[in-house]
Structure formats: C-alpha cells, structure tokens
Chain A
Amino acid sequence: AQSVSQHNHHVILSEAASLELGCNYSYGGTVNLFWYVQYPGQHLQLLLKYFSGDPLVKGIKGFEAEFIKSKFSFNLRKPSVQWSDTAEYFCAVNVWGSQGNLIFGKGTKLSVKP
C-alpha cells in the first residue's frame, strides 16, 4: 500500500532559523504532491502543490518544496521562519489513477520560538 512518511514529529526552531521538513512517499509511479498547513485551531490550508514541470515549487508565505523523483521525496523548506509559522504541516500524495484520493503523512508540528 502507498504510504507517506514525515520524518519529524515535532520541530522546534528560533525565529530566523532555516526550516526543512522531510517527506517521502512509497509509490513509484506518477504522483501529485501537496503540503498543507494547519495553524492552531484552524482547518487545513493548501501551502503548495506539485503536479508537473519545474520540480522546485514555490508556495505561499515564502515556503518552497523540491520534488526529487529519484529519492521519492518532497521536502518543504523556508529560509527564515517566523513565529507565525507555528503550525502543523502535512505532506500528502495523490497517485495518478487512484481516483484522486490523497494519502496523508502523520504531520510535523513546528514550534517557532520568538
């Protein structure tokens, strides 16, 4: 069965530190990839997505992610985090031909200290 792994359960950073959250998936075919963010007490919002083309994808609020097909990875990055980035981040994968159902990772909680 397809699965999505997020390596870190909880990451704690100081403001202005750089961020990289890992995401790996276990399917060898064509995929669509997503990062969703959930701010405290809120619903999930789309941060960025990759369908095809340039493997470096830029999202909202200065986030970016790089799709590395050979590594089955889609890591999320931000050069300098802010306190307002404190949230839980979910990686998700859609396998082409799977009727569009997303498979979610278990999430990484990011805490940014002011």
Chain B
Amino acid sequence: DADVTQTPRNRITKTGKRIMLECSQTKGHDRMYWYRQDPGLGLRLIYYSFDVKDINKGEISDGYSVSRQAQAKFSLSLESAIPNQTALYFCATSDSTNTGELFFGEGSRLTVL
C-alpha cells in the first residue's frame, strides 16, 4: 500500500461545484503539503501544514482551502470550482528535519468543465 494516499484519483466536475480532495499518510510525518501541477509550469505550492493546528498559504492559495483533521490527514477543498483549476493535484509529506525531502502521493486529476 502507498504511504501517501489520495482520493479520488480522478474527478470530473462542473463549474461552481464544491470539491474535496483527501490525503492520508502512514509515514508518521508532521508536515503535509498540497501542490498543483500544470504542463510547463512545474509544481506550485497551494497550502502546507506543519502540525494539526498549523495552516499556511503557499504560492497559489486563492480559490482553495484546506483542513488538517489529524496528523495523518490533510484535505484540499475547492469551494466553487472553475475551469482553470483543472490540473493534477499532489499531496506530499515530509518529516520535521527541514531537509526539504518530500514524499508524494499518486496524484488526483481534477477536470472542471
């Protein structure tokens, strides 16, 4: 089983719908991240959390929100999805040693029509 699990893996939705992407991890890491990947743009950080009560905005947080329900769970919400949020979303974890090394989930492909 994957150490970092994302659900759903694929989702097609319509403009204006609320969408939640979920991430859970069994690595025991304190830090969790949500990234968005777009062709030619690489990975961009949406939100990150260093602990259950810690939430931080990343480079592109507008239009997104997150919830850190437990050490092992970090969910990303799109309150009202729009077509330019069509992308591949990755959850990642890291330990607290500040090395920067990330462990990625398998990705959630979201299409907003």
Contacts and interface: CB of A to CB of B under 8 A. Distances in A.
A98 B104 CA distance: 20
Interface residues of A, number: 25
A6 to B, nearest CB: 8
A9 B99 contact: no
B30 to A, nearest CB: 11
Interface of B: prevailing SS = loop
B41 interface: yes
A42 B88 CA distance: 11
A101 B41 contact: no
Contacts of A36: 102, 104
Interface string A71-114: 00000000000000000001011101011111011110000000
A45 interface: yes
Interface in B22-37: 31
Contact of A44 (B44, B45, B96, B104): B104
A90 B98 contact: no
Given A94-B99, A105-B42, A100 B31 contact: yes
Interface string A29-47: 0001010100000111110
29 contacts: A32-B99, A32-B100, A36-B102, A36-B104, A43-B90, A43-B105, A43-B106, A44-B43, A44-B90, A44-B104, A46-B101, A49-B99, A90-B42, A92-B102, A93-B100, A94-B99, A99-B50, A100-B31, A100-B96, A100-B97, A100-B100, A101-B45, A101-B48, A101-B58, A101-B100, A104-B42, A106-B40, A106-B42, A107-B42
Q: Which 3 A-B pairs have the closest CB atoms?
A: A94-B100, A106-B42, A100-B98
